[in-house]
Structure 1
Amino acid sequence: MAQPDLKLDVAGVNALMARAFPDAPVEALPQVTDLAPGRAHIVRAYGGGMLRPGGVISGPNLMSLADTAAYALILAHIGDQLMAVTSSLVMNFLRGALPGDLHADASFLRLGRRIAVCDVKLWTESQDRLAAQATVTYAIPS
């Protein structure tokens, strides 16, 4: 697949995400740290309330970051279209995510005019020790 062009840079996507979620505490809002055509890296700083019994980061936190990473990737490529919405999220939990900053790498499997499908890989320890993988589909408004 030919990689689409970026319409927003890192600062532009972070500003757009802050505008899209004005009630989110700043510390809870993941930050885009790197963008390239067809790819995005975002980080959610580790904080209280992220752990489940057993001392690993909870599934809802992992799922939220996967969805947010896909949304950030899409916005970086389509621009200010905040009404893009999740239509599917399939999550594969691979191992417990140990306490620490939560990282997500998102890439396109497909970016069309009406739909985008993203592959998202998540980890805390190392990119070589994935905690989860998600396939996230978004509907893009016409």
Structure 2
Amino acid sequence: MPAQDNLKPVLTATEVNALMASVYPQLNDEFTSYEALDVFPGGCTVRLNANERHLRPGGTVSGPSLFTLADIGGYACVLSHAGPDALSVTTNLNINFMRKAEAGPIDGHCRILKLGKSLMVFDIDIVAGPEGHTVAHATGTYSIPPKRADNVVK
């Protein structure tokens, strides 16, 4: 399915990171584990800087850590394309785990499949390792609150 091709970002990756740090500071605490790397028309790239805190026994990055990366990808897309409304929320997220991910940078390549007035549907390909193999793939939906002057964070 091709991504929606008429989308233009309203925030940069730097602005998305600053907004997430202000409205969701507990995401990264004192570490920068999750971050937006790039925002482009119709999508974004996010990263998990996975270290020992993200590993389950056996040296594999945990499913909850990869699930969080998928959710952060959707959040970065909705913030950067629908506007800086921190009250946008996940309404659905499905993930398939393909192969083991080890500690190190894990990137999520997110694309918006449909952006409407109240919902955004996206998918994200999560890749890791020297060859950039897909370790997980997710699809999700974000609910976008109605536009009001009092719920926009700038």
SS at 2:38 equivalent: strand
Cα distance, 1:52–1:140 mapped onto 2, change above 3 Å: same
Q: What residue is the counterpart of 2:93 in the other structure? A: 89
Deviation digits for residues 92-132 of structure 1 (CA, Å, limit 9, x no counterpart): 11111122112111101111110001101112215641000
Q: Residues of 1 paired with 2:101 and 2:6: CA distance? A: 30
Q: After superposition, where does 1:29-108 map in structure 2 within 5 Å?
A: 29-108=33-112
SS at 1:23 equivalent: helix
Alignment pair present for 1:131 and 2:135 = yes
Q: What residue is the counterpart of 1:141 in the other structure? A: 145
Q: Residues of 1 paired with 2:103 and 2:114: CA distance? A: 32
Deviation digits for residues 62-89 of structure 1 (CA, Å, limit 9, x no counterpart): 0001000110011001221111000001
Q: What residue is the counterpart of 2:7 in the other structure? A: 4
Alignment pair present for 1:23 and 2:26 = yes
Cα distance, 1:79–1:114 mapped onto 2, change above 3 Å: same
SS at 2:50 equivalent: coil
Point out 4+ residue stretches in structure 1 off by more than 3 angstroms: none
TM-score, normalising length: structure 2: 0.86
Cα distance, 1:26–1:76 mapped onto 2, change above 3 Å: farther
Q: What residue is the counterpart of 1:13 in the other structure? A: 16
Cα distance, 1:15–1:98 mapped onto 2, change above 3 Å: same
Matched to 1:100, the amino acid is G
Of all paired residues, the percent bearing the same amino acid is: 34
Alignment pair present for 1:120 and 2:120 = no
Cα distance, 1:22 vs structure 2: 2.2
Moved more, 44-53 or 6-15: 44-53
TM-score, normalising length: structure 1: 0.93
Contact 1:27/1:45 (CA < 8 Å) preserved in 2? no
| Superposition RMSD in Å | 1.5
Cα distance, 1:107–1:127 mapped onto 2, change above 3 Å: farther
Cα distance, 1:29–1:98 mapped onto 2, change above 3 Å: closer
